Structures are given as C-alpha cells and as structure tokens.
A and B are shown apart, each in its own frame.
Chain A
Amino acid sequence: MAINDVYRAVLDFEEDSIAALIEKELAEGVEPGQLLQEGLIAAMDAVGKAFSEGEIFVPEMLMAAQTMKLGLDVLNPRLGDKDAQSRGVIVIGTVKGDLHDIGKNLVGMMLEGGGFEVHDLGIDVSPEAFVEGVKKYQPVILGLSALLTTTMPVMEETVKALKAAGLEQVKIMIGGAPVTRDFAEKIGADGFSADAPAAVELARSLSR
C-alpha cells in the first residue's frame, strides 16, 4: 500500500526521500488528509510508543520527527482548513536569567514531531519578550522552561505579564527539572509535565 511507504519512510528516517514520496502519492490522487493521518501522524504515534518503551533513543526519535516535519512541509499547503486547524501553534522559551535549553529544545522538537507548529524564542527570554512572541504568533499554548530555582519566579512574572497584556486565552504549560505540578498550580499555569513525551500529551489535551 502506498500510504504505507510514507509511514515507513518516517520510521526509517528517510529525510531525503520523504518529500518526493509524498509528491508521488499526491500526483496519484491520494487525499492529503489521509496521507497526514495514516502516514505521518500514525508513524509518529508508533515512534512515540517505541520511544516510551525504550526501544528507540532520543536522537532517533528526533530524526523521525524531522522526517515527519519535511513531509508536513509538502502537505501543509494542500491541506483543507479542517486539517490545518488540528495543527496547534506553540511558542516556547527558557525564562529570563536562565540559559539551560537542552530540555526545552527536546520538548520543542517532540512537539513538532507531534504535529504542532513550534516557535522557539530561545533562552533568557523576558516576560515582555514572551508577551511580544504571543502577540506575534498567536499560539494556543505557551511553553516555559526553567532549570534554576532562582529563575522559577520569572515563570510567575511571565504568567502575570500575559494576563496584564490581556492574553489570558493562551494556555501556559511549564517544565524543567526543579519545576513541580504544585508550583504550576500556584502560579496559575495550565499544565506541567516532567518530560518530553508527557509534554506532547499535555499539549494535545490543552489544545483540544
């Protein structure tokens, strides 16, 4: 089956051939929505499962996600409004004073693999810069990362700054090694997750 080739291409990290493969399927009249659901997303779900079970490793999963993204770039312009809407926009960044970004990057890449459109504002991002980013990209979700107990208070400042700017509709999820669920509740964030796979689950539930 042809869609199966697309599915396999993601599982085999065929970054070089995925675009051509999708073009070929589209030329043969396969529905873009079907290629997305049964090809790309189904493959990433399988990858996510294998990852959770420890069968594949982080860099391999990221390559699969990268392959999926290249495929998505080809599909995106041809998807109908209905399919496009299912794809949520997320803005992510590490808070001011904090330079740790490995966890944040990993979460960002996995969210992309999960089908989200991610805009990464980088590290040392001030509450004002987060407000600007939210205005610019109009995300469904804002993700904040902090690895230092001394920068965790900036998460609270950022939540307040968004409220003050009248942007309370955006859902806020937070994470980073010292961050806890209790802390998330305390500062009025909408969600917390302890690792990247859980962050994708969380984003899905927050964007529903």
Chain B
Amino acid sequence: MLNAKENGKLEQLHKASMEILGKSGIKFLLPRAVEILKSNGIRIESDVAYLTEEQLLYWVRKAPSEFKLYAENSEYDIVIGGDNVEPAPTFGAYQIIDYAGNARPALMEDFINFVKLYEANPTFKVNGGCCVQPSDVPAEHGIMLMYYAAYTHSNKCLITNSGSAEDLSPLFEMAKAAYGDDMEKWAAYPRITTIVNANSPLQFDPRMLETLITFCQAGQPINVDSGAMAGSSGPVTYAGNIALANAEVLAGIALTQMIRPGTPVMYGSTASGIDMKNAAVAIGAPGAAICFKYATLLAKYYNLPCRGGGALSDAKKPDLQAGFESMMIYKTCADNKMNFIIHAAGVLDGFASASYEKLIMDFEIIDFVNRVNREFEISDKTLALDVIEEVGHGGNYLANRHTPKHGRSEQFIAKLSVRGNAAPDQLEKNIQKRMAQLYAAYQKSVRDEAVLEKMRGIMLANGVAEGHIARINSL
C-alpha cells in the first residue's frame, strides 16, 4: 500500500501527463493509426492526437490488469500482472563482449547459446526475442530466423522482434503454423509478445505503429514502452521525464484498446538518463532506477501490468561496474514488482552489447534478489528458541542438529560468490562452471516435424536461404 505522500506524487505526475497530452499531444506517424484515433472522436491536428483525460482513462481502463502468456510447455505459462515478477531475456545487443572486454559482432550461434542458457535456468519462463542481434544472417530475414531458432530451442513463453506489417506477416504465418489460424483461440491464449517503443519525445513512428496494430488485431500482448532519456529525449529533471514517458505510454495504450478492447498490454518503461559528460545513455544510473520505480507505481495506479528495467549496466565489460549497477536496477525493479523484466540477464554497454559471463552473473543476481524478497518466515521453527537454549552461552551451532537440518534451505547456496579460503580467480572459475552446467542441463525441445516443415516452407517462400535454416537446426 502506498502512503498518502506517494499517492500525491502519482497524482501530480498523472496531472502533468494529462496536460502534456492536451497541450502538446502525441504525433502518430501512420495514417491508419490517425484514422483509428479520429474515428474514436480524438481531436487530431494533422498527425498529432490530443486526448482529454476522460478519453484517455476511458480507453486505458479497458485494458486488463493482468493476463496470461502461454508457453509451448504449460509448466512455463506465466501471469503478467499483480505482484508477479518474471525475468526475461535481454534484447537487441549487436556485440558480444568477453571477460577481458574484447568486443565482436554477435552471431546466430550466440543467439542460440543464449536461448539455451535461459532455457536451462529454471528461474526464467520466458525466452527468445532478439536476445542478441545475429550479424551473420541477412537483416531482412532476421525476424523469421530468430523466431524459428527460439521456437526450435525453447519450450518457454516467447518474445519476438517488432517490425513493419510486411516484416511481421511471415512471422505470424509461422506462428499460425504452430498454433493454428483460429484467431479467437489465439486471442484467448496469447503466445507471443514484443516491444513497441515510442520515438521520444512525443511521437510514435510508422514501423512501431504497424507492430502495435498487427499484434493487437491478433490479440497478442505488446508492451508499449517509452525510453525517454532525461536530458536528451526528455527533460533533464526526472519528474518531467517520467511525466513525458507516462503520457507517451498511455497514449499508445489507449490506441491498443481502440483496436481491440480488452487486448492485453503492458505499461512499458526503459526511461533513463544520460551521462552529462558525453550524452551517452545511462541505464545503470540511479536516475534510471528512479524511472523504473515510478513506472511500476504509475502502472499500478492505472491498474496495468508493467514491463521495464533489467540487470542493466553501462559497463564496457563484465566488471565491478557491471556488478553494482545491475544489482541496483534489478533489485529496484523486483522490489517494486515490475511484472515483466526484459533485459534481466546478459546486457551491458548501454544496451549495445551482451556478455556470457555477465549473463551468468545476472542469473545469480536474480536468485539473490528472489531470496531476499521471499516471504520471511517467523515461526517456532525459524525462531529456534529451543536450540538457542540448548546451545547456551558460548556454545557452537555448527555441530548442532538444527544446522544441517535447515542449512540448505535457510542459507542461500551461492553458485558464484567466493568465500572462505579461495584463490582470487575462483569467481571466474565458478562462472565457467555454472555455464558448463547449464549447457549440460539444456534439453532441446521436441517439436512436431509437420509444423517445422510448414515454418521452413514459409521462410523459403519469403526468400530465406536454406543454409541459414540448416545452420539453426544443427546448433
């Protein structure tokens, strides 16, 4: 429960956003989107929409406060909303940075390795997307190939890429090959989700609006996201930046509900700040944590599920900076019940790069945070008054029966943290060991050959080279 002071702040931010929507309006750079807004009585001047508070809330309230996303294996179905927090893969990094800090372009093999590592980690119920951007497949075929690679290698809920209506059409054909073409059933059991970014400040570009329309028509959830950066694409003062991002996201969400009332949607935020010394995006900074905190509070104020944050860092390699920044941002999000956390593991360098070692470190961060935030049990068993009496003054708990009995469940068994007598390179060894264990635990999903054949047919018909498909199958 929020206290009155916090509530007052949210009202202030809400009012400010309403003023932005009424005075500046939001530019929708796609005639079809403008038509939809217009036909629902929204005031339009050229391509700028001006929503009143009443109109905005009327549409936003049609969005469900939580919804379910369905996985190939129903064990991994998730609820997005309420107090649930689901980590999800990182998205869009085009480089891989190694432990020493050397960077190289990401490849399809890296994409599949990342999918395998997320798949083998039971904490993750979501996979795929653009967990890294493979440089060795043609850009125009990436959307299809990444979906195929994720579908063949994961049983979990899947993210996809975003794109123009034309880019998305073969993707949806492929998904229909898997889940049938009864669109009502699709809408009742959403299978895929993606990111729709506002092009801050105050606009949505045509490609993103086509993604929004395509997904909403199919009843598939999207997250409407603002990445306003305080100081470059938003005001340098965080309150203003948050109010701006809020206005953009709410306007996008209103549009989703005009397309298909009740369609599931997430309130998204990657709002952050910049480094004043060079204007670089600052995703691991305290300001970013403030943006994420308020994104969760505002989403809950509007009764919407939220997406944002991650184990975010601007570090140039998986180093000390990567550690402290990632922990701060992830914990802030988890503490505030950010429902869907894309970029939960592996990202660094201000979203531009990914790292295997950091991916493993972030897995540990997530497990730490989950442990901290687990309900703290105070009971006869955990107070252990009888044991305290038994051990008495100056006694020793190590050898007491109570310690081995509860040791494994009470003490978090760290997979990476080094303690006690150990060599300085033990952390690195632990990271490699955990990575090897995850690869070993990974099991490739069993898929209906007929479905795969259909998917391959769709890709070939859309110009994808057979070699790229064969390569994915071999990995």
Contacts and interface: CB of A to CB of B under 8 A. Distances in A.
B450 interface: no
Contacts of A150: 133, 139, 142
Contact of A102 (B94, B139, B276, B279): B279
A58 B139 contact: no
A195 B278 contact: yes
Given A99-B205, A177-B352, A149 B231 contact: no
B208 to A, nearest CB: 9
Nearest to A150: B139
Nearest to B236: A59
B199 A99 contact: yes
A61 to B, nearest CB: 10
Nearest to B135: A149
B94 A178 contact: yes
Contacts of B233: 102
A58 B142 CA distance: 36
B205 A149 contact: no
Contacts of B105: 149
Given A58-B276, A103-B279, A150-B142, 13 more contacts: A57-B277, A58-B274, A58-B277, A59-B231, A59-B276, A99-B199, A99-B205, A102-B232, A102-B233, A149-B105, A150-B139, A196-B278, A196-B279
A107 B276 CA distance: 15
Contacts of A188: none
Given A102-B233, A149-B94, A149-B135, A178 B278 contact: no
Contact of B279 (A58, A99, A149, A178): A58
Nearest to A58: B279
Contact of A153 (B139, B199, B277): B139
A54 interface: yes
Contacts of A153: 139
Given A57-B276, A178-B94, A149 B133 contact: yes
A103 B281 CA distance: 10
21 contacts: A54-B277, A57-B276, A57-B277, A58-B276, A58-B277, A58-B278, A58-B279, A59-B231, A99-B199, A99-B205, A102-B229, A103-B279, A106-B279, A149-B133, A149-B139, A150-B142, A153-B139, A177-B352, A178-B94, A196-B278, A196-B279
Interface of B: 94-95, 105, 133, 135, 139, 142, 199, 205, 229, 231-233, 236, 274, 276-279, 352
A54 B231 CA distance: 17
A34 to B, nearest CB: 33
B429 to A, nearest CB: 33
Contacts of A149: 94, 105, 133, 135, 139
Contacts, number: 35
Contacts of B95: 178
A197 to B, nearest CB: 9
With most chain A CB atoms within 10 A of its CB, the pick from B95, B142, B229, B276 is B276
A25 B328 CA distance: 55
A178 B104 CA distance: 10
A150 B142 CA distance: 9
Contacts of A58: 274, 276-279
Nearest to B232: A102
A195 B278 CA distance: 8
A173 to B, nearest CB: 18
Contacts of B142: 150
A127 B236 CA distance: 34
A153 to B, nearest CB: 7
Contacts of A99: 199, 205
A103 B280 CA distance: 8
A58 B277 CA distance: 6
A59 B276 CA distance: 7
Contacts of B236: 59
Contacts of B352: 177-178
Interface string A140-154: 000000000110010
Contacts of A59: 231, 236, 276
A53 to B, nearest CB: 10
Nearest to B139: A150
A194 to B, nearest CB: 10
Interface string A35-63: 00000000000000000001001110000
Contacts of A103: 279
Nearest to B277: A54
A150 B5 CA distance: 46
Nearest to A62: B279
A73 to B, nearest CB: 25
Contacts of A57: 276-277
Contacts of B133: 149-150
A120 to B, nearest CB: 16
Interface in A135-192: 149-150, 153, 177-178
Nearest to B103: A180
A52 B279 CA distance: 13
A54 to B, nearest CB: 5
A57 B278 CA distance: 7
Nearest to B199: A99
A167 B276 CA distance: 38
Nearest to A124: B205
B126 to A, nearest CB: 24
Complex A-B, nearest 4 residue pairs according to Cβ-Cβ distance, in ascending order: A150-B139, A57-B276, A149-B94, A58-B279
Contacts of B231: 59
B130 to A, nearest CB: 11
A65 B250 CA distance: 37
B427 to A, nearest CB: 29
Contacts of B276: 57-59
Nearest to A54: B277
Nearest to A197: B278
A196 B135 CA distance: 26
A44 B143 CA distance: 46
With most chain A CB atoms within 10 A of its CB, the pick from B135, B142, B199, B278 is B278
Contacts of A106: 279
